[in-house]
Amino acid sequence: MNKPLGVILAGGLSRRMGGGDKALLLLDKKTILRHVIDRLALQVSALAINANGESSRFSAYDLPVIADSIDGFAGPLAGVLAGLDWAAKQGCSHIVTAAADTPFFPLDLVQRLQDAAQETGAGLALAATKEAGRGLSRHPTFGLWPVALREDLRTALNDGLRKVVAWTDAHDGASAQFENAARDPFFNVNTPGDLTRAQDILAGKD
């Protein structure tokens, strides 16, 4: 499978961070978003940012900014749909999404998602980690998504669907399991305390 397009989901409301764009907060002299861009750009053929509101706040990154096409805050699936519509215009078959507030996700994310989708014959896959006593925990903002399902997704969103795994399960989505050793590789920055912990991780203190 060829390298897909990458879409960074930056449309969250950041309530626990006090609002605003938490992805633009500094983490070791770079914004969290820049950390995400640097990791995902290595794995995809091109990148875009999914975000709503004034797109000029992302002008420093020189990337396309694509807004949700579904009115209201419809969650990550609306960002996925925006990414699929963007990819369709470029004749691409798949996108991979990553959350804009998760600066340490695996550098083999895309390959592992593609492998999981191919092994099961599914067109899509979500990243997952296994936690002691809790079983498999899927990470719905990290996924491989086929452009061929975009109209199905549009219909589901217009019908009120918001839960990612409800839609992926309906299409027999695969899970790409990643090791959850010292820390969750999909650790995301939701609160000021999380930002402090992310600084510690970069400094080797965590």
CATH at 173: 3.90.550.10
Res 72: pLDDT: 75
Average confidence (pLDDT) over 5-10 = 97
pLDDT at 205 over 80: no
pLDDT at 97 over 60: yes
State the sign of the Cα–Cα–Cα–Cα dihedral 17, 18, 20, 25.
Answer: negative
pLDDT at 13 over 60: no
From residue 155, alpha-carbon distances to 76, 101, 123, 132 in Å are 15, 28, 18, 37
Res 135: pLDDT: 78
State the sign of the Cα–Cα–Cα–Cα dihedral 161, 194, 181, 201.
Answer: positive
> pLDDT tens for residues 119-150?
988 889 999 998 766 778 999 999 999 999 99
Q: Give the count of domains, the chain.
A: 1
| Percent of residues, the chain, with pLDDT higher than 90 | 75
pLDDT band at 19 (very low <50, low <70, confident <90, very high): low
> pLDDT tens for residues 49-89?
999 989 999 999 999 999 998 887 789 999 999 999 999 99
User: For residue 68, what are the domain limits?
Assistant: 5-202
